[in-house]
Chains A and B, each alone.
Chain A
């Protein structure tokens, strides 16, 4: 077994300086760390971790391959179920998925570090292998349009390409990757990983991406249906919810997703400026990502305010704790009432029989920057003819929309949590459904 014996060389951070938002939150494992950790896996039968993974990766199999020195085999095991295994190893809330169900928790309270091992295996393949690991089947002559080059779209496109179809991906933005490129905190996707992963996925061949193409602008669902044998919509959730309170239009008030995008897309060495006192409103992972970034960019005080309690937050306990470790103050049971020039006023709330009510008591925080992270919703403008239910595109069990020849997946449908890993699974399963339809 070949083991590259490089030891950890993570530079020690300067305790007086906030870490850069662009630096890896959790550095890559060294081969020695991966060896020790992979040997903790018990190779469970019908393992609970596999069932907890939305993409169903054979986790014990890939970890065993790491332990035996078969790193390429480990990576192909992962990527065969989840072509974005590299991103998922970095950003998945493993503490509520695979690692939560790891049997090592039961007697030891410490799961196998599945996410970090997954990154270890996939990094080596994505960075080190010249050839794409998955061959393409013989050309079918079928052409599929994929709208959106995010996790769902790219996952679908990759699977269709391996099955022999020709895929054209239409993407409104200048880069592929979707939220991997524009919506995840940079410390989770350090060193331009989103683009490296996109290049790896496209390496399968048979996929062309057209940027600056937007449904409702220069594309229509009707023309796609006419020009292609099938259409997959992986359009995500395009718009942000509003607070609907006075002062929301003031300068210095911004959607957290837009802020994260600015941070992600800033030229190297020129990160965006942040306020001295930043207030983030919301309780999900986007709120936490934005708050930590603001802190790492130099904000003196960052307060994350959520109208309900810690238990109701969308951000996992691990994310909440991370925010606190990074110096973010968490305030709960407070709803925003009004945004002033450099302040924001909240009303305290309480939960009574599951119902949230205001108490009438208010308090005011200094805020020269307010970031809103109160959820996103589907931009349904260009989806004429599609049934939208509960704010999501309605699909059947095979990801088929109410329009013939149109399938959909990812955050724009209601299959599971709005997570990268779920989107990858949607894209994969929709591709198989499309393939089955095209092969019929």
Chain B
């Protein structure tokens, strides 16, 4: 059986599944329940300087599919609204009771060394924290007070805060990055320059998640008004995957440990983050949607899949897909793949035909089969776009089959069809 034990920035946990800094890690009661359920670690909900913040009533909004499945989720909650000392005492007790689990503590302060260093020392003095996570990402509320994304969006401030904290305490420091920027590499590189032991990403995406059409206000509605909040859940996973991969393949940040966050709901999601270079993953929305028990299948599913693929440790898996993430200009222009529809699995819904006909390349023909329609791909028209295979409701009914054209790997810069082509000789 695969060994799921995980180490990131020197912080060990029995499995790579941590709960992200968020409501599920707000207090001992929840964290103990999480550890009982099997979570490998937590990042305690962000601590700030006393007096604690005060939250508003009505805090979460949801982006639901028509069947009420959670596509995305957002919140306008601030950091921990409990006194610092209460949190620290609970952290000490929980770590004492659960020594094998990772206990990382998130913190946030205003842009002064005194504030950051003082808070970091208070946490370090408990002796219970395995590491710190700097919250430089909150896109709502705290940023209006000069914290959260107000810091995370300025690379120089990211570097500065990281350095202050690293100088203040002797603990691993994970810098949590905001996706609400133009280029994630600028803040990742800044964190590294500041001495970060790891980065975690993504924090939530700035959003209005929905509009209450009766109240005519953004949700969540607070007495008739709403504010932008932090978006997370399954819908943000693709954004997070790209940013994780960018950091993993960037020469400046390559090797910087990454804790992957963003819409991780299943073991498969986690495996994808690991494949793109994450060392472990953090989860919030899935737990807030289903409760802590979902970690069982995350652990079991990842372990079974690793066994099936022959990965013995997370290290063997981590980063396996990074070398295959390239720029568009490095793709093979001569590659050609075609959709193939298996009539034995087809249920005759016609969706492949209509999406191709209406919105793509008119490459799926309908013939009258025996008692039902027969859908066939017109190879000459098919550009291998995959749309039909994505909308087909039956798994494996439509597969994409590469053509054996025996043509060489040619990228766009070298492609004869490229008017700006670099001539082969000159490219030597």
Q: Choose, from A101-109, A322-330, A368-376, the stretch at the interface.
A: A101-109
Question: Does chain A have a CB within 8 A of B101?
Answer: no
A46 to chain B: which residues have CB within 8 Å? 350, 354
Is there contact, CB below 8 Å, between B67 and A47?
no
**A379-B372 Cα distance, complex, nearest whole Å:** 40
Report A1-51 residues with CB < 8 Å from chain B CB: 35-36, 38-39, 42-48
Is there contact, CB below 8 Å, between B351 and A106?
no
Beyond the given pairs A39-B65, A104-B347, 16 more chain A to chain B contacts, judged by CB atoms under 8 angstroms and listed by A's residue number, are A35-B66, A35-B67, A35-B68, A39-B67, A42-B349, A42-B393, A44-B348, A45-B350, A45-B353, A46-B350, A46-B354, A68-B66, A103-B348, A103-B349, A106-B347, A106-B348
Is there contact, CB below 8 Å, between B347 and A103?
yes
Of the residues B65, B67, B351, contact of A45 by C-beta under 8 Å: B351
**A332-B157 Cα distance, complex, nearest whole Å:** 87
Shortest distance between the CB of B113 and any CB in chain A (Å)? 50
How many residue pairs bridge A and B at CB < 8 Å?
39
Assign chain B's interface to a size class.
Answer: 10 to 19
Asked, given contacts A42-B393, A107-B394, whether A36 binds B67 with beta carbons under 8 Å apart, the answer is: yes
- B326-359 toward A: CB 8 Å interface, digit per residue (1/0)? 0000000000000000000101111101100000
**A132-B402 Cα distance, complex, nearest whole Å:** 57
B393 to chain A: which residues have CB within 8 Å? 42
**A47-B350 Cα distance, complex, nearest whole Å:** 8
Which of B347, B351, B353 has the most A CB atoms < 10 Å from its CB?
A: B347
Shortest distance between the CB of A30 and any CB in chain B (Å)? 14
A221 to chain B: which residues have CB within 8 Å? none
**A42-B345 Cα distance, complex, nearest whole Å:** 16
Is there contact, CB below 8 Å, between A43 and B67?
no
B350 to chain A: which residues have CB within 8 Å? 44-47
Shortest distance between the CB of B307 and any CB in chain A (Å)? 29
Shortest distance between the CB of A261 and any CB in chain B (Å)? 40
Is there contact, CB below 8 Å, between A107 and B353?
no
Shortest distance between the CB of A188 and any CB in chain B (Å)? 29
B348 to chain A: which residues have CB within 8 Å? 44, 48, 103, 106
- B66-102 toward A: CB 8 Å interface, digit per residue (1/0)? 1110000000000000000000000000000000000
A107 to chain B: which residues have CB within 8 Å? 345, 347, 394
Q: Which 9 A-B pairs have the closest CB atoms?
A: A45-B350, A45-B354, A39-B67, A106-B347, A67-B66, A44-B349, A103-B347, A42-B349, A103-B349
- A73-108 toward B: CB 8 Å interface, digit per residue (1/0)? 000000000000000000000000000000110110
- A50-73 toward B: CB 8 Å interface, digit per residue (1/0)? 000000000000000001100000
A48 to chain B: which residues have CB within 8 Å? 348, 372
Enumerate 30 A-B pairs (CB-CB under 8 Å) in ascending A order. Answer: A35-B67, A35-B68, A36-B67, A39-B65, A39-B66, A42-B351, A42-B393, A43-B351, A44-B348, A44-B349, A44-B350, A45-B350, A45-B351, A45-B353, A45-B354, A46-B350, A46-B354, A47-B349, A47-B350, A48-B348, A48-B372, A67-B66, A68-B66, A103-B347, A103-B349, A104-B347, A106-B347, A106-B348, A107-B347, A107-B394
Shortest distance between the CB of B1 and any CB in chain A (Å)? 34
- A326-363 toward B: CB 8 Å interface, digit per residue (1/0)? 00000000000000000000000000000000000000
Report A196-254 residues with CB < 8 Å from chain B CB: none
**A106-B334 Cα distance, complex, nearest whole Å:** 38
* Residue of B whose beta carbon sits closest to that of A47: B350
**A68-B65 Cα distance, complex, nearest whole Å:** 9
Shortest distance between the CB of A184 and any CB in chain B (Å)? 31
**A103-B351 Cα distance, complex, nearest whole Å:** 12
**A42-B355 Cα distance, complex, nearest whole Å:** 13
**A38-B345 Cα distance, complex, nearest whole Å:** 23
